[in-house]
Amino acid sequence: MGKLAKWLRMMGYDALFFEGSSDSHMIATALAENRVILTRDTQIMRRRVVTSGRLRAILIQSDEPEQQMRQVMDTLKLDCQFQPFSICLECNQPLLERSKEEVKDLVPPYVFQTQSQYMECPACHRIYWRGTHWQAMTRKLEHLVKG
Ligand SMILES: [Zn+2]
């Protein structure tokens, strides 16, 4: 499910990942922030807050991240071109635009020479650019949607 959260962020969707925290904490957060719960846990689906329709939850069928992604995109009608490149994949924070000069000493020289658009996470200060890894992930997503 951690991988699923990263893919959602890659498309620009605000996605929190709960690991090891209590179900009630997750449910309270989802209710307070009007979130949809994606879970592999059938217990959560049986909770009154879910069966009554107060909280929307989707039971993820597969263990396979690509299958999970397809299910979520189909069910929630997500758009893989939503707002790519706008949320930190690690901390779910909206990225801020940075000029080439601002990142000069923060990225490898070959990246600086070849890339012109940069984004920075205000929380972890990771710098993002549309490099080959990014392109590979985008292609994989598009393939998933069409396939
Ligand atoms: Zn970050």
Mean pLDDT score of the chain, rounded to an integer? 91
Which 8-state DSSP code applies to residue 90? T
Q: Cα(123) to centroid of ligand 1, in Å?
A: 5
Distance between Cα 122 and ligand 1 center (Å): 7
Distance 84 CA to ligand 1 centre (A): 15
Q: What is the DSSP string of 57-86?
A: EEE---SSHHHHHHHHHHHHT--TTSSTT-
pLDDT in tens, 117-146: 999 999 999 999 988 777 787 788 778 777
Q: Is the pLDDT of residue 81 over 70?
A: yes
Distance 129 CA to ligand 1 centre (A): 13
**Ligand 1 centroid – CA 121 distance (Å):** 5
pLDDT tens-digit readout, 84-109: 889 999 999 999 999 999 999 999 99
Q: Facing residues of 119 across strands?
A: 97, 128
Euclidean distance between CA atoms 108 and 76, whole angstroms:
38
Read off the pLDDT of each residue in 60-69 and give the average, rounded to a whole number.
Answer: 92
Question: Across 20-93, where does the E strand assignment appear?
Answer: 37-39, 57-59
